[in-house]
Chains A and B, each alone.
Chain A
Amino acid sequence: MNLIHHILATGYATLFDVVPIAAILIFFQVVVLKKIPPNPKRIIAGFAYVLVGLTVFLVGLEMALFPVGETMARQLTDPEFIGSSAALGIVDWRDYMWVYIFAAAIGFATTAAEPSLIAVALKAQQVSGGAIQAWGLRLAVALGVAIGVSLGAYRIVSGTPLHWYIIAGYVVVLIQTIWASKFIVALAYDSGGVTTSTVTVPVVTALGLGLASTIPGRSPLLDGFGLIAFASLFPIMSVLAYAKLAEWMQVWRQKREYKRDEHEEEGKIL
């Protein structure tokens, strides 16, 4: 009974998210474009699916993932778990190894399940005619978030200023962009924004605030923020790197085939 109540309450909240969007879409469709899109019934059914699906998804997350994620973030940052030096109020970043590993793992896992990333990856696969595989893109993005959140956790532990990391990240993205094929650049930039949505933001924020409130000398309000920024910057780098790698692999494969062909030709001549 409790579950049904919960689903209804979440559904109500999700509906409120959708209402302004629907109002804008209907206004422009009816007043400005004065045209009904093809298959209106199917589109409305699609919206209903999105609404119900997102609601059920969120309720499930709140039951399964959020409590576990929060408990783990708390347990892993507990001075007792970390060891003696943290209990004495001395922070040594090496004591927090499990936190970095957990941060990477949770960043990877939540991103792999992020619905908006699934949407963009599907679209990219469709638009590129299969040259970009949805699964490969999602793994690349998830790997980027894993590295980003892990580094962000290190930043909170070490108490170093956020903006230097982000500025350094921008420089790396700039260099990669100069180098990258134009085909992937827009998608790579987009993958930074889509990673941080429904699933990732609450868990990663809980981790940041948990870390900042248990580590001596850190303030949750000042040091707790910033993980999301890491999580939206690093996927840009990992997707650009993934594209470069795929390019190299292809060139290498072509070269090898070319060589083999040459050998075969030589064999024939001999």
Chain B
Amino acid sequence: MSDFSHNIGSLARLLMESARDLAPIVVVIVFFQVVVIRQPFPNLSDILIGTALVVIGLTLFVRGLEMGLFPLGESMAQAFARKGSVMWMLLFSFALGFGTTVAEPALIAVAKEAAQTVAEAGHILADEQSLKNYAFGLRMTVAVSVGFAIMVGVIRIVKGWPIQGLIMAGYLGVVVLTFFAPPEIIGIAYDSGGVTTSTITVPLVTALGVGLATSIRGRNPMTDGFGLIALASLTPMMFVMVYGIVY
């Protein structure tokens, strides 16, 4: 009985936390609707039900992170570190980066739009087959680039390289490529870095990095454990521009 009331109590606390996390969004929308646009809300009941769903969903998500994604990512990182096989670990990193990105709906949408843009600029034919080929190639490019990034990031954690060097080299790469890439592709390339990191990938990859840095002696989870996401959002920018130059 006390266990039950304890659970209800912690659930209520979690719900409160989610509600607080979402408060800014509600304030912004109400402010603009009431003060700036000065029109009543369309479908007020939908908005209220939707907000309640968002709060419940976020609560479950955060609970699931702490129960499933975080412990799994960390225990896998530790198991790989104990196994001592760098080969398998790199293969795993690549698979995780590639596999989580290739089916990402945001990426599929962006690739389609990119194909259209490039066709309008006259770089490829505007028929359905060439559009499809272009979009598919782009998607594969981004997925490979994310796999590559996670792999390089894991090597970095193992070797203890500072993250600044890699990121600055990446920035330099982006800047140089910008001057050679066709102008139509630049906006898409710059945005592609942001769309690749999905909500399920981020916690897993973060837990992996932190777990790895915790289990390798001489690494600090704070300075060495983070940084995988940063690399995964930088490499797609370069790879997409290269794709634009080559294609």
Contacts and interface: CB of A to CB of B under 8 A. Distances in A.
A62 B48 CA distance: 12
B200 A46 contact: no
Interface in A26-70: 27-29, 32-33, 35, 37-39, 42-65, 67-69
B178 interface: yes
Interface stretch (A87-95, A180-188, A245-253, A261-269): A180-188
A69 B72 CA distance: 36
Interface residues of B, number: 103
Instruction: Bin the interface of chain A by size.
Output: 35 or more
A47 B193 contact: no
A228 B57 contact: no
Nearest to A116: B202
A193 B193 contact: yes
Interface string A169-195: 010011001000011011101101111
Contacts of A185: 162-164, 223
Contact of B64 (A25, A50, A162, A187): A50
B56 interface: yes
A41 to B, nearest CB: 10
B73 to A, nearest CB: 9
A43 to B, nearest CB: 5
Given A190-B228, A194-B229, A23 B36 contact: no
B166 to A, nearest CB: 9
The secondary-structure label for the interface of chain B is helix
A254 B56 CA distance: 43
Given A109-B28, A186-B224, A102 B233 contact: no
A9 interface: no
Contact of B68 (A46, A71, A222): A46
B174 to A, nearest CB: 8
A38 to B, nearest CB: 7
Given A61-B54, A63-B49, A110 B168 contact: no
Interface in B1-60: 21-22, 24-25, 27-29, 31-33, 36-37, 41-43, 46-60
6 contacts: A21-B96, A21-B204, A28-B95, A50-B69, A116-B199, A193-B229
Interface of A: 3, 13, 16-18, 20-21, 23-25, 27-29, 32-33, 35, 37-39, 42-65, 67-69, 71-72, 75-76, 98, 102, 105-106, 108-110, 112-113, 115-116, 118-120, 122-124, 127-128, 142, 162-163, 166-167, 170, 173-174, 177, 182-183, 185-187, 189-190, 192-198, 201, 221-229, 231-232
